[in-house]
Amino acid sequence: MQAGGAGRRTQTRAFSRRPVYAKLEAQRSEPRMQLIDADHRDFDAIRREFHWRVPEQYNIAHQVCEKHTGLTTQPAMFCENEAGEENTYTFGQLSAWSNRFANALRANGVERGDRVGVILPQCVETGIAHLAVYKLGAVALPLSILFGPDAIEYRLSDSGAKAVITQGRHVAMIEDMKQSLPELQTVVACDEPGGDADFWTLVDNAAERFTPAATLADDPALLIYTSGTTGPPKGALVAHRSLLGNLTGFELSQNFFPQANDVFWTPADWAWTGGLLDGLLPTWYYGRPIVALEGGKFDPERACRMMEKYAVTNAFIPPTALKMIRKVSDLGDYNFKLRAIMSAGETMGAELYEWGREVLGFQINEMWGQTEFNYLVGNCAPIMTVKPGSMGKPYPGHVVAVIDDDGNELPAGEDGEIAARRVGDPVMFLGYWNNERATRDKFVGDWFCTGDVGYRDEDGYLWFVGRKDDVISSAGHRVGPGEIEDCLLKHPAVVQAAVIGSPDELRGNIIKAYIVLADGFAPGDPLKAEIQAAVKTRLAAHEYPRAIEFIDEMPTTTTGKVRRVDLRRMDQERRSAKS
């Protein structure tokens, strides 16, 4: 990797696979950190017997790094950039560098409770930034590198972020919008000149001694924005204790993680709950290394080469990425060490289960959760029967049921809203940022209402039917139509716009836009491409409408609301006519 500062140049090294793999053997002597006894082979018994023990004080940085006093020389991260350049980083390095960066942030005015934006790919700076923010008692605001200026500016403004750590095009982008962000004081650039400070210069010049804040388990640690069907995205405020609440599901969905020599990887962006709380942070909690791949869009061939090269044993891979890996022509030639894969973000389907069993040699564990209330339901194939197509059962420590509109539990086989009981569950979020009404609307009594409709069968397995609202699940991303529609309406050709999810074999759903054009504009492929490019540039690459249909009139209710049910029916009729 290209060095960003003297500290990294002098303290990192490229690794060879063999000695690193040998070092991993030494971690067997670490104290046991699992919440679930790997000798217990009855899923339902584990659920019945499990009880949370949430300490009063809890800090994510301590749990995933500082407590590993016996692992300071052990690898925590294997990094590889697009050019194939490699580096290995140890837990000791992460501890020292995050202490330094915490001191640097404090010197630049960041205090306990302040929001700090992190707009970075999978790289060591991302991990250091998160650890430093948690140590300060500040709140990390992870933002995807796929976001364009509108998406970035809204989230920085709404959160009142005081600092941002980023790189590449986002440095200039944020500099351009600073005038409209009065609370933003510092932009830290990681890879090139620009911003108010250079990341590695700050690290090099700061003191290494730092006393982390004594955060309570209920103190906020993360602010992650989620898409809704109406209005702008909402910031879900996540507590330090949420890490603990993710762990039973993580252990079981990864077939009793950790085991000797376990190495983890996920293609999921570390800015999302899936990449951060389903991958990076729990992997470090158990003192295991994670593979970080910097690069562009998902490349299945590169993913296969990487999993073989780094002897990856465990992974979180969304269904869309699995489908792409399945199509790799020489898949059988790779010497994989994989023993478990968790998949989530969209329904897997029976074919992927069967492919995993036949080609990989094990059943893929499907998981279900949300940013606000994560890692709730799933499978653990070694100790339970997997029903292909089912979400699985609630993981230990979580109470999940199907309820009616009044919060009454429904009997097996009857459709209702899938809900989770908030009392005593550490994974539950703290609420929506500056939006008490939206927070209240998510609860019926003690039930957190997920917005997903499903049913429970006679054996206690949960089955997903659809969304109660209109959030689109596409290639593992949950995308709300509201933000996309607002962006579409900024184009001079667009008078009205409505967005739905259209079924797609690869991505689960694609984003489809129905558009009524302004006078003087003619429908056609050039205009479609122009509108698509505008959304891709201003919002994110995963949020642009892959399909656009121009219509003369938008179907609406008597009160003027778009009838998405009519649009979905139109889409179904068009797809049926083509088949």
3-state secondary structure of 205: helix
Is residue 560 predicted with pLDDT exceeding 70? no
Higher pLDDT, 29 or 445: 445
pLDDT digits (tens, 9 = 90+) for 49-76: 999 999 999 999 999 999 999 999 999 9
Task: Give the 3-state secondary structure of residue 138.
Answer: coil
**Residue 21 pLDDT > 70, yes or no?**
no
pLDDT at 29 over 80: no
478 has a pLDDT exceeding 90: no
Quote the tokens at residue 565: 């049910």
pLDDT at 23: 37
SS3 state of residue 79? strand
pLDDT for 167-185, tens place per residue?
988 999 999 999 999 999 9
Contact between residue 290 and residue 88 where contact means Cβ atoms under 8 Å apart: no
Per-residue tokens: 260 = 């000797």
Percent of the chain having pLDDT more than 70?
92
Alpha-carbon gap, residue 514 to 548, rounded angstroms: 6
Terminal-residue alpha carbon distance, the chain = 49
Residues 6+ apart with CB under 8 A from 102: 131, 132, 133, 135, 136, 210, 212
Contact of 253 with 342, CB cutoff 8 Å: yes
pLDDT score at 576: 86
Which amino acid is located at 409 in the chain? Answer: E
The reported pTM is: 0.84
Fill in the amino acid letter for 30. Answer: E
Both tokens of 435, joined, read 């939006």
pLDDT interval class at 229 (50, 70, 90)? low
Tracing tokens 């067997």 back to the chain, one arrives at: 28
**HEC string of 528-575?**
HHHHHHHHHHHCEHHHCCCEEEECCCCCECCCCCECHHHHHHHHHHHH
What angle do the packed helices 319-326 and 300-309 form, to 10 degrees? 90
390 close to 371: Cβ distance less than 8 angstroms = no
Average pLDDT over every residue of 150-162 = 97
Q: Where are the domains of the chain?
A: 472-578
Tokens read off for 454: 């499903």
Tens of pLDDT, residue by residue over 343-388, are 998 778 788 899 999 999 999 999 999 999 999 999 999 999 999 9
Work out the mean pLDDT of the chain and round it to a whole number: 90
**CA distances from residue 106 to 157, 163, 184, 204 in whole angstroms, order as listed:** 21, 11, 14, 15
Residue 270 pairs with which residues in a beta bridge?
none
Helix, strand, coil % over all residues of the chain, rounded to 5: 35, 25, 40
pLDDT of residue 516: 93
Of 15-19, 241-245, 333-337, 406-410, the poorest mean pLDDT is in 15-19
Q: What angle do CA 264, 33, 91 make, to 5 degrees?
A: 55
Q: Which of 8-12, 15-19, 202-206 has the lowest mean pLDDT?
A: 15-19
Report the distance separating Cα 513 and Cα 539, nearest Å. 15
- Map tokens 């999302």 to a residue: 272
Q: pLDDT by residue (tens digit) across 86-130?
A: 999 999 999 999 999 999 999 999 999 999 999 999 999 999 999
What are the pLDDT digits (tens) for 411-468? 999 989 999 999 999 999 999 999 999 999 999 999 999 998 889 999 999 998 777 7
Please state, in angstroms and rounded to a whole number, the distance separating the CA atoms of residues 179 and 368.
Answer: 40
**What whole-number distance in Å separates Cα of residue 226 and Cα of residue 272?**
9
pLDDT at residue 389, as a whole number: 85
Residue type at position 183: E
What's the confidence (pLDDT) of residue 28? 37
pLDDT digits over 251-296, tens only? 999 999 999 999 999 999 999 999 999 999 999 999 999 999 998 7
Length of the chain: 579
Could you tell me whether strands 416-421 and 400-403 are parallel, antiparallel, or unpaired per DSSP bridges?
antiparallel
For 95, 157, 237, the CA distances from 116, given in Å and listed in that order, are: 19, 12, 13
User: What pLDDT score does 205 carry?
Assistant: 97
φ/ψ (deg, to 5) at 78 = -105, 120
- Runs of H (alpha helix) within 160-240: 169-177, 199-205
Strands 314-316 and 264-265: parallel
Architecture of domain 472-578: 2-Layer Sandwich (3.30)
Q: What is the pLDDT of residues 121-149, one digit of tens each?
A: 999 999 999 999 999 999 999 999 989 99
Q: Tell me phi and psi for residue 380, to 5 degrees.
A: -145, 90
Structure tokens at 64: 């995933």
The pLDDT value given to residue 474? 76
- Classify 494 as helix, strand or coil: strand
Q: How confident is the model at residue 26 (pLDDT cuts 50, 70, 90)?
A: very low
CA dihedral 561, 568, 498, 482 (to 10 degrees): 80
Contact 280, 306 (CB under 8 A): no
Instruction: Determine the pLDDT at residue 228.
Output: 63
C-alpha span between 212 and 115 (Å, rounded): 17
User: Which residues make beta-bridge pairs with 201?
Assistant: none
Cβ atoms of 498 and 481 closer than 8 Å: yes
Q: What angle do CA 82, 129, 376 make, to 5 degrees?
A: 90
**Does residue 501 or residue 113 have the better pLDDT?**
113
Residue 264, pLDDT score = 98
Query: pLDDT value at position 558?
Result: 53
Q: DSSP assignment, residue 518? A: P
